[in-house]
Amino acid sequence: MASSFQISALLLTFCVSISLTLPVRSQTCASQTFTNNNLYTHCLDLPTLTSYLHFTYDAANSTLSVAFFASPSKSDGWISWAINPKVAAMGGAQALVAFKDTTGVMTAKTYNISTSMPYSVVQSKLAFDVWDTRAEEESGVMRIFAKIKVPPELAATGTLHQVWQVGSSVDAAKGELTIHEMGASNLNSKGTLDLNGGKIVSSGGLDSRTKRKNIHGVLNAVSWGLLFPFGIVVARYLRTFPSADPAWFYLHVFCQVSAYAIGVAGWATGIKLGSESKGIQYSLHRNIGIALFSLATVQIFALFLRPKKDHKYRLYWNIYHHGVGYVILILGILNVFKGLDILQPGDKWRTIYIIAIAVLGGVAALLELITWIVVLRRKSSKSTKPYDGYGGQSRP
C-alpha cells in the first residue's frame, strides 16, 4: 500500500542520512607523488587542516627528513610545520614556514616562537640544526622540505611534538606572517609523532572545549536539524492515507518528543558554552537557539491544550501548530548552518548535513506530489472523504 511504502521510504531515507554522517577514512598521503617521494618511508594524513607529512627518520645519526604539504588559507598565505621540544602546543615551537617571497617565488624559512603569550614569531635560527630547506607549490598546495637534526633528548624518546598551521597572508619584505584563523581545526593542529613507527602517537587530543562544542553540534544537528524536520514530514504526508492513521500521529509525537529531548540537551550545552565564552559572542546563533527552545517548548505544551478534533477552535489550533512548526523547521536548519560557520568542523561535515537535509527535502517534494495525486484522485472518485488540508482525518 502507498502508506506502508511511504513509511518505508521515510525510514530508509532517515537511515541513509544517519549513515552518511559516519566518518570515512582512507589514507591520502600514500597516493601523493612528487620529486623524490621514494626518499620518505612514512606518510601521515594529519588530522586537521587537510595537511600531510612525509618523513624518514635515521636513528643512527638522528636525522629527520620531512616533507610537509598543506594549502594556505589564501593563495598568498603561508603554511608551517614545527617541532615543539617541550609540549604539543604553539608556544616555544620551532617552525619551518613556506610562503611566496616578494618576487612571487616559493621560499622556506625558519621561525622561533616565544614560549609565552603574546607569542612572538620571529625569523631566526632554530634550537636545532636544519638544512636542505626548500619550498614549492603545485595547484594551490604548498610543500616544505627540510632535514632536521633531532636533539638528543628527543631522539632518546623516539617521539616528538609536532604542530602545524596555515595562514592567509605574509608581509614578504619583512618576513612577517599574519595570524592564523581560530577555528577548531586551527586550534587542534598538534600532536605527538612516533619517529620510528611513523604514526601519530596521540593527536594531541581535542581540547575539552572543542570536544564539548562538537557534542553540542552533533546533538543540535540531529535534533533541530534532522529529527524535527523528519517529524514534520511524517505529520504532513503520512496522514493523507487512512491506513496510516493513527500510526503517523504516534510516529510524529515520538519524533518530536525525542527531538525535543535531544534538542534541550544540545541547547543547554550551547548556553553553557556561550556563558563561558567571554571574548567572543555569537549573538545571532545564540538568539536563534533561545527562540527555538522557546517555540519548541510551547509546541510540546500545546499538545496538552489541543481541542478535540470536532471542536470549533481546532482549526485555529491547527493553523497555530503548523505555523510554529514551520518556523522551527526553518530556524532549526538555519541555526545548524550558523553553528557550522562557528565550529568550522571541516567541509566534509557541512557537505554531509547538506546531503542529509537535501535527501529529506527531496523525499518531502516527492511525497507532496504523491499526496496531491492521491487527493485529486480521491476527490474525483468521491469514494472517500476529501483531504481538508488541516488534519481532518481522525486521530486520537
Ligand X SMILES: *[C@@H]1O[C@H](CO)[C@@H](O)[C@H](O)[C@H]1NC(C)=O
* Positions that interact with ligand X (CB under 6 A): 58, 60-61, 63, 112, 114, 120, 124-127
Least Å distance, CB 153 to ligand X, is 15
Least Å distance, CB 276 to ligand X, is 30
Among the listed residues 164, 160, 257, the one whose alpha carbon sits nearest the alpha carbon of residue 199: 160
Q: Are 247 and 264 in contact (CB under 8 A)?
A: no
Q: Are 80 and 96 in contact (CB under 8 A)?
A: yes
- What SS3 state is found at 205? coil
Among the listed residues 224, 234, 228, the one whose alpha carbon sits nearest the alpha carbon of residue 364: 234
Minimal CB distance to ligand X: which residue?
114
Q: Are 263 and 223 in contact (CB under 8 A)?
A: yes
Least Å distance, CB 80 to ligand X, is 15
Q: Which is nearer to ligand X, 59 or 268 (CB)?
A: 59
Q: Which is nearer to ligand X, 97 or 200 (CB)?
A: 97
Known binding residue 285? Answer is yes
C-alpha cell at 246: 493513527
Q: Which is nearer to ligand X, 1 or 60 (CB)?
A: 60
Known binding residue 180? Answer is no
C-alpha cell at 88: 604539543
Known binding residue 321? Answer is yes
Least Å distance, CB 142 to ligand X, is 24
Q: Which is nearer to ligand X, 148 or 187 (CB)?
A: 148
DSSP readout, 129-192? -EEEEEEEEETTEEEEEEEEE--HHHHHHTEEEEEEEEES-EETTTTEEPPPP-SHHHHS-EEE
Least Å distance, CB 145 to ligand X, is 15
Q: Which is nearer to ligand X, 22 or 60 (CB)?
A: 60
Known binding residue 311? Answer is no
Residue ranges for the known binding site for heme b are: 216, 252, 285, 321
Residue ranges of the binding site: 216, 252, 285, 321
